[in-house]
Amino acid sequence: MTLPSSLTGDNAVLRLTFDGPLAVLTLHSPPLNLFDEAMWTAWRDAVAWLAAHPPRALLVRAQGRVVSAGVDVRVFAELDPKDAESFWRSRLGITQALEALPCPTVFAAHSLTLTAAFELALACDLVVATPQARFGLVERKVAFTPAMGGTQRLAERAGGARTRELVMTGDLYRGSVLADWGVINALFPPESFDTDAHSYAMRLATGPTRAHRATKEVVRRCLDGGVPAADAALPALAAAVTDTGDHRRAVTAFLTDGPEHTTDYQGH
């Protein structure tokens, strides 16, 4: 499985590596990890490759002092309004493709995370951060609105009132505050953040991936269509999980060794 050239090598602005069952996608475009054409191209390549070759879990992280200062403002200066709809539709497609990956996804934010990067974080299943990390959808500074799906995904997590506050003020919010809002799932101290975030994601990668996929689908059905839509889909999803090797091995191990058993999940 050859990786796209945009995701490997010393000049790659986004790097895809693996630690056993865990895929790790690292923003690496110092000093600010800005979203420009090269970064977006790499993201398109990454989510397309991961959709075709799903890992057991994905960790998204960043190298450097900041996670990302967001979209390179030169993008707005150079964009022809006649091309704007198709331009932003394609960028929203990256968010949607990341959200649709069939494995658990974790976004790890150790510091400043703005605009496009924050929007992609909100497309992940789980977000972890340091208490001091700062987040913002600050498009108001260029009289714009978040266009990669961050507003609606923030509203799913924090509600409409908090979302309007964050987007309309353009203020920055600490990880500790967003954890209180339900946007951040876990907070880790700065001194051990990389290790803690990696362990958090690895726990998912070594778990029952097919069951996690079903959980993602049930939650999505509920968010899109309410409890009745989730109920309608659940029996078939549960039946598919019942037919996996992970489920059968885990049941056997539970009956043999008790609830504290260790199961070798293989994703089948």
**Residue 263 belongs to some domain of the structure:** no
pLDDT at 137 over 70: yes
Phi-psi region of 129 (alpha: psi -120 to 50; beta: other; left: phi over 0): beta
Q: What is the pTM of this model?
A: 0.95
Sign of the dihedral defined by the CA atoms of residues 258, 106, 150, 109, in that order? positive
pLDDT at 268 over 70: no
Distance (Å, rounded) from C-alpha 31 to C-alpha 111? 13
pLDDT in tens, 32-68: 999 999 999 999 999 999 999 999 999 999 999 999 9
Q: Average pLDDT, stretch 225-244?
A: 94
Instruction: Fill in the DSSP letter of residue 35.
Output: B
pLDDT at 171 over 90: yes
Pair 118, 220 in one domain:
no
Q: Average pLDDT, stretch 148-169?
A: 98
Task: Look up the CATH number of the domain holding residue 159.
Answer: 3.90.226.10
Q: How confident is the prediction for the chain on average, in pLDDT?
A: 95
Q: Average pLDDT, stretch 186-207?
A: 97
Confidence grade of residue 225 (pLDDT, cut at 50, 70, 90): very high
Q: Average pLDDT, stretch 120-127?
A: 98
Domain that holds residue 31: 5-205
Confidence grade of residue 259 (pLDDT, cut at 50, 70, 90): confident
Confidence grade of residue 246 (pLDDT, cut at 50, 70, 90): confident
Pair 121, 217 in one domain:
no
Q: Average pLDDT, stretch 197-218?
A: 95
Distance (Å, rounded) from C-alpha 70 to C-alpha 135? 10
pLDDT in tens, 90-122: 999 999 999 999 999 999 999 999 999 999 999
Pair 200, 216 in one domain:
no
Pair 124, 67 in one domain:
yes
Strand partners, 135: 113, 173
**Residue 101 belongs to some domain of the structure:** yes
Q: Considering only CA atoms, which of 224, 226, 201 is closest in space to residue 212?
A: 201
**Residue 267 belongs to some domain of the structure:** no
Q: Average pLDDT, stretch 214-239?
A: 95
pLDDT of res. 253: 85
Pair 90, 197 in one domain:
yes
Domains: count for the chain? 2
Q: How far is CA 260 from the centre of its chain?
A: 30
pLDDT of res. 9: 86
**Residue 262 belongs to some domain of the structure:** no
Would you say 36 and 75 are in contact if contact means Cβ atoms under 8 Å apart? yes
**Residue 268 belongs to some domain of the structure:** no
Pair 235, 182 in one domain:
no
**Residue 265 belongs to some domain of the structure:** no
pLDDT at 267 over 90: no
**Residue 264 belongs to some domain of the structure:** no
Pair 251, 186 in one domain:
no
**Residue 27 belongs to some domain of the structure:** yes
pLDDT at 1 over 80: no
pLDDT in tens, 3-21: 998 899 889 999 999 999 9
pLDDT of res. 249: 87
Pair 130, 71 in one domain:
yes
Q: Considering only CA atoms, which of 9, 10, 109, 100 is closest in space to residue 59?
A: 109
Pair 35, 130 in one domain:
yes
Pair 215, 173 in one domain:
no
Pair 230, 218 in one domain:
yes
Burial tier of 94 (Cβ tally within 10 Å: 0-12, 13-18, 19+):
buried
Pair 200, 223 in one domain:
no
Q: Average pLDDT, stretch 144-166?
A: 98
Q: Give Cβ neighbours of residue 206 (< 8 Å, ≥ 6 apart).
A: 21, 56, 265
Q: Average pLDDT, stretch 65-76?
A: 97
